[in-house]
Amino acid sequence: MNKFMKVAIEEAFKGMRSDEGGPFGAVIVKDGKIIAKGHNEVVKTNDPTAHAEITVIRKATKLLGRFDLSDCEIYSTCEPCPMCFAAIHWAKMKSLYYGANRFDAAKIDFDDQYIYDVINKTATEEQVKIHTIDCEECKEPFVEWAEKVNRVKY
Ligand SMILES: [Zn+2]
């Protein structure tokens, strides 16, 4: 099997067996070497965003001292949830490898179908009530950003 995915699976077992979070692991590879490995830490950290992919993105960006991971690849034991999928895009990574998929995860009660339904506007129930308020005032920082000469682009 793939040597990087093997490490991601080891991480999934490690995190699960130490009760740090769900059975998910991930690694980030740069130039053929693992630069970050990790697992789900939601339970350990009480952070609902501490999914394996987010955990390794944070480790890799800290290590490299930059937010752009376009020269890195991510290996995740499971198909990333919508949050992680977006984070992988925000990090500008060019390759994602995963093994188990969202339907496999749903069978063990990690079901993110509801989030896909909300995004696709096909959800029949709303968990989060969404309110649009103060639209003009909220756009004021955009005006200043657009005119800011020394802005850091990402
Ligand atoms: Zn996720």
Mean pLDDT across 115-129: 93
CA of 48 to the centre of ligand 1 (A): 9
Residues lining ion ligand 1 (Cβ < 5 A) are 51, 81, 83-84
Residue 131 has pLDDT above 90, yes or no: yes
Q: What is the pLDDT of residue 154?
A: 87
- Of 8, 13, 71, 16, nearest to 36 by C-alpha is 8
Residue 72 has pLDDT above 90, yes or no: yes
CA of 132 to the centre of ligand 1 (A): 26
Residue 133 has pLDDT above 90, yes or no: yes
Q: How far apart are CA 114 and CA 102, in angstroms?
A: 12
CA of 55 to the centre of ligand 1 (A): 10
Residue 3 has pLDDT above 90, yes or no: yes
Provide, rounded to the nearest whole percent, the portion of the chain with pLDDT above 90.
Answer: 97
In what order do the strands lie in the sheet containing 25-30?
33-39, 25-30, 72-78, 95-100
Q: What is the pLDDT of residue 153?
A: 87
Find all residues with CB under 8 Å of 19, minimum gap 6, and list them: 43, 44
Catalytic residue annotation: 53
